């Protein structure tokens, strides 16, 4: 008779794809978060100096 595969031999083959999938999901999530942060930082840099949040960020005082 052929030996039947035990559960312990099946676990390592299934653990590797799960670990790779989790690592890939973390990498994708990190890249997405970094992209959002980059867009936010660029939007702050492109704000007009004399309106809204631009006044607070750049300390521009409107004469008057």
Residue 16's Cβ-count burial label (10 Å; 0-12, 13-18, 19+) is: exposed
Q: Where are the domains of the chain?
A: 7-58
pLDDT at 46: 80
Q: Alpha-carbon distance 48 to 59, whole Å?
A: 12
Over residues 8-56, the pLDDT tens digits come to 555 555 667 889 999 999 999 999 999 999 999 888 878 777 777 777 7
> Cα angle at 58 between 36 and 34, to 5 degrees?
15
Give pTM, 2 decimals.
0.55
Residue 44 C-alpha from the chain's centroid:
19
> Cα angle at 25 between 30 and 8, to 5 degrees?
140
């Amino acid at each position: 008779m052929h030996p039947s595969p035990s559960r312990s031999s099946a676990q390592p083959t299934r653990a590797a794809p799960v670990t790779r999938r989790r690592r890939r999901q973390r990498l994708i999530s990190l890249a997405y978060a970094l992209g959002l942060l980059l867009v936010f930082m660029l939007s702050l840099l492109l704000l007009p100096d004399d309106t809204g949040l631009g006044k607070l960020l750049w300390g521009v005082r409107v004469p008057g």
